[in-house]
Amino acid sequence: MIDFSTNPSQYKHWQLSFDGPVATLAMDVAEDGGMAPGYELKLNSYDLGVDIELYDATQRLRFEHPEIKSVIITSAKDRVFCAGANIAMLGTSTHAHKVNFCKFTNETRNGIEDSTTNSDQKYICVVNGTAAGGGYELALAADYIMLIDDGASTVSLPEVPLLAVLPGTGGLTRVVDKRNVRRDHADYFCTLNEGIKGKRAVDWKFVDELVPRSKLMDTAKERAEEFAKDSSRPADAKGIELTPLKREIKDDEINYSNISVKIDRDGLTAEIIVRGPEKEPEQVAAAIHAAGVDFWPLAFAREFDDLILHMRTNENEITTWVFKSEGNADFVAAADQALIDNADDWLVREITNYLKRTFKRLDVSSRSVITLVEPGSCFTGTLMELVLAADRSFMLDGTFEGSNIAAATLQPSEMNFGALPMCNDLTRLQTRFLDEDDKISDIKAEIGNDLDAEAAEDLGLVTFIPDDIDWEDEVRIAIEERASYSGDALTGMEASLRFAGPETLETKIFGRLSAWQNWIFQRPNAVGEEGALKLFGTGKQANFDRKRV
């Protein structure tokens, strides 16, 4: 089992240090520290374990270190920055592992960019040696790239000519969409094994600045301090510790404090029950800070994040996730109101952004999502996003026979109208009702109101509202049908349907890039017996099928 939980005392591959408002993340990958036997992580090449540590570090920089306003990413090794994803690891990994590895790595780099946009924590990448493939893609996630001017160090994306695959973590998109490199220059660059260095790298916008070796880190600290001056992060605030999660995995059950999962392996289904707060959550900033990781929205976000990563990586045969909820809807509404009322507080801002990123992680997961709104549920505000994120939702019209639990309701809150956008920069309501602002206004008018099944259906918030007589059969048939279809076809269909509206850098990476890479990773040119990934490093020439498909 791959575990995504770690902390700085367990890091094998990163060194984290602090100097006033500036933190430095130095990459020092342990060659013998791979997640699986059969490869060595030479030249700061990385596997999933390296990126799990990077993700943990970026999360801690946001929550535990509010005083950090700029982050320098560099290499602790001399004359090499990062050789990218380890090729031997890719060549021996299953298709599912390769795709999940690329997806998580993309999400981590998107999170770095989100730190800049929403946390006022800017990143500088100091490329103090050669940066190839995923190494340069890591640099591209930063706001500013500095390249050592030593006459030898280059940046490159050599995947097409060397490996017959694509740069897997957004390199193609960021080069043209983020750094505004000309298409012809990008085409030349992406078919050049050795990469680009020196003045041309600056002139063509692949890096921002060339610096001699003798001045490299001093100049980097100067730039970091310049960025820090414009940051709104508090210099004297105290962070909160991201303590280890309480999680128990036993047989076909997974239990957290606020989430429980039951896995039906025959049905290829996981039933995921989210529990709302047990008491009214803290309402003022000071109390939220005092509660720390026990503040329900943060506790839920951390557990949900960990669960998605666990299920995507370790349970890839469980293809349908069925969401339910239970608890006091008023307490969920109160938690949402606390986030809205204290939105200017740095910690509350981080919690809201974490919720946003975690729901985005759900959106891009290649699993069918079905949400069931039953009596006793608490799909209010933030948790109503689980209804809006579903590929299909069912809400019971009325109550179950013989039960004294009141009929299910939905309740919108302000959190549904801007705080939790998808990768397309639209809310899930805007994505659902594309260019239908009047429908969104009708729903917004219901903030704080309990909506029964008929009202929810009239407003377009749920797919179907069976009564007690039809409920069991309709839900069962929907879940069984899902299990009978091709998982490949469902993945493609769901990804195509989930992101209506404008295309963004993120949707290009998770839609366009992921789709192509998913396909290319299975082609003989890449992974066949005579494919480039299989033969890389052997001295043998790949035997390509030259036909275009």
pLDDT at 548: 87
Query: In order of start, what are the domains of the chain with their CATH numbers?
Result: 8-229 (3.90.226.10), 252-497 (3.90.226.10)
> What is the value of pTM for the model shown?
0.96
pLDDT at 386: 98
pLDDT at 511: 87
**DSSP string covering 478-546:** HHHHHHHS-HHHHHHHHHHHH--S---HHHIIIIIIHHHHHHHTTSHHHHSTTSHHHHTTTTPPP----
* Phi, psi angle pair for 96, to nearest 5°: -60, -40
Inter-CA distances, 454 with 380, 410, 439, 467, 520, Å: 16, 11, 16, 11, 46
In angstroms, the CA 386 to CA 60 distance is: 26
Inter-CA distances, 111 with 48, 201, 325, 399, 514, Å: 16, 26, 28, 42, 17
438: which DSSP letter?
A: H
Does the CA dihedral 495-496-502-504 come out positive or negative? Answer: positive
244: which DSSP letter?
A: P
pLDDT tens track, the chain, 549 positions: 999 999 999 999 999 999 999 999 999 999 999 999 999 999 999 999 999 999 999 999 999 999 999 999 999 999 999 999 999 999 889 999 999 999 999 999 999 999 999 999 999 999 999 999 999 999 999 999 999 999 999 999 999 999 999 998 999 999 999 999 999 999 999 999 999 999 999 999 999 999 999 999 999 999 999 999 999 999 999 999 999 999 999 999 999 999 999 999 999 999 999 999 999 999 999 999 999 999 999 999 999 999 999 999 999 999 999 999 999 999 999 999 999 999 999 999 999 999 999 999 999 999 999 999 999 999 999 999 999 999 999 999 999 999 999 999 999 999 999 999 999 999 999 999 999 999 999 999 999 999 999 999 999 999 999 999 999 999 999 999 999 999 999 999 999 999 999 999 999 999 888 888 888 989 999 999 999 988 988 999 999 999 987
Q: Give the DSSP H/E element, type plus range, for residue 264.
A: strand 259-264
Does the CA dihedral 498-138-513-366 come out positive or negative? Answer: negative
Does the CA dihedral 111-102-540-77 come out positive or negative? Answer: positive
Q: State whether residue 66 is helix, strand or coil.
A: coil
Residue positions counted in the chain: 549
Inter-CA distances, 41 with 10, 46, 49, 50, 156, Å: 18, 6, 11, 10, 19
280: which DSSP letter?
A: P
CA dihedral 140, 146, 150, 154 (to 10 degrees): 10
Bridge partners (DSSP) listed for residue 395: 373
464: which DSSP letter?
A: B
